[in-house]
Copies of this chain bind each other. A is one copy, B any other.
Amino acid sequence: MKSPEHVASAVSDPKLVGERRGAILDAAVRLFAEHGYYVTTIQQIAKASGVSIGLIYQYFGDKEDILFLSLKRVLDRYETEIPARLEGVSHPVDRLCTAVWAYCSIVDELRQVAVLTYRSTRSLRADRRSLIQQAELRTNRLLERCVRDCIDGGHMRELDEFMLVYQLVMFCHAWALKNWALRERFDLARYVSGGVALLVEPFLTARGRAAVAALRKRTGDFSDMGAREAQR
């Protein structure tokens, strides 16, 4: 009867639902990310979001609903923000690198929450876990499109774009998952630059490499992406 993505609310005014849910989720995500899903109590979420315990249950059916929407929000950010960052970028290789950069910088911003995705997705009911997984696949498909365009444009040699993309995604997630190890050695820009060197450049054709060289002349080294980002 109820679809898995549906989260019941006793309150009808959609604007109010949006606002309150937002505030509660903000607090919940912070607490989940810091202490974990099971250790965080509804009491804590109520206190942190400045509402009563009862009110939480007017906007969410149960604790799992809160986790679900918390995770959904992260996945949604990937799905909407990566395309947004690609707007105006036209060269296929540039688009691919920009997508990786965007993904990594979102992960960087949401570091603990990105980890939460790995810690807590299995705490969801199967049908909702599946929804989260589908959202991940949709984001992957954004990157697959970039890879395919590189290949079709003759900038990259033919390869299994599904596998390359999943490797790129793991690379982005690793910035959160293994940050404890990586931050000793890289800052974000250098990490992304290293990833591009490892997972993009080796597969570029002569034409692709030429294009990159031309781009670099115009825009500075990819390893300087942090600076480009800072200029936005």
Residues of chain A at the chain B interface (Cβ within 8 Å): 36, 38-39, 115, 118-120, 122-123, 133, 136-137, 159-160, 162-164, 166-167, 170-171, 173-174, 177-178, 180-182, 185-186, 194-195, 197-199, 202-203
Contact = CB atoms under 8 A, between A and B. Distances in A.
A166 B162 contact: no
Contacts of A137: 181
Number of copies: 4
Contact of A171 (B160, B170, B173, B180): B170
Contacts of A197: 159
Main secondary structure of the interface of A (DSSP, over half): helix
A137 B178 CA distance: 11
A133 B163 contact: no
B198 A185 contact: no
Contacts of A123: 36, 39
B174 A170 contact: yes
B177 A166 contact: no
Contacts of A180: 133
Contacts of A122: 36, 115, 119
A166 B160 contact: no
Contacts of A159: 197-198
Contacts of A194: 160, 163
Given A133-B181, A170-B174, 20 more contacts: A38-B39, A115-B122, A118-B118, A118-B119, A118-B177, A119-B119, A119-B120, A136-B181, A160-B194, A162-B185, A163-B186, A163-B198, A164-B198, A166-B174, A166-B178, A167-B171, A167-B174, A167-B198, A170-B171, A202-B202
11 contacts: A36-B123, A38-B39, A133-B181, A136-B181, A163-B186, A163-B194, A163-B195, A164-B198, A167-B167, A167-B174, A202-B203
A166 to B, nearest CB: 6
